[in-house]
Copies of this chain bind each other. A is one copy, B any other.
Amino acid sequence: MPRRQLLLRIQLMSNPAVLCGVRGAVSPLAGAVGFGEEDCHKITLALDEAITNVIRHAYGGKLERPIKIEFHKVNGKDAAKAGLEITLTDRGVKPNPDALKGLPPGELRSGGLGLHFMRQSMDTVVHTRVGSTNRLRMVKYIR
**A residues touching B (Cβ–Cβ < 8 Å)?**
6-13, 15, 17-18, 20-29, 31-32, 71
Contact = CB atoms under 8 A, between A and B. Distances in A.
B26 A21 contact: yes
This chain: copies in complex: 2
A8 B25 CA distance: 11
B24 A18 contact: no
29 contacts: A7-B12, A7-B15, A7-B17, A7-B18, A7-B21, A8-B10, A8-B18, A8-B21, A8-B22, A9-B10, A9-B11, A10-B10, A10-B25, A17-B32, A18-B29, A18-B32, A20-B28, A20-B31, A20-B32, A21-B26, A21-B28, A21-B71, A22-B25, A24-B24, A24-B25, A24-B26, A24-B27, A24-B28, A24-B29
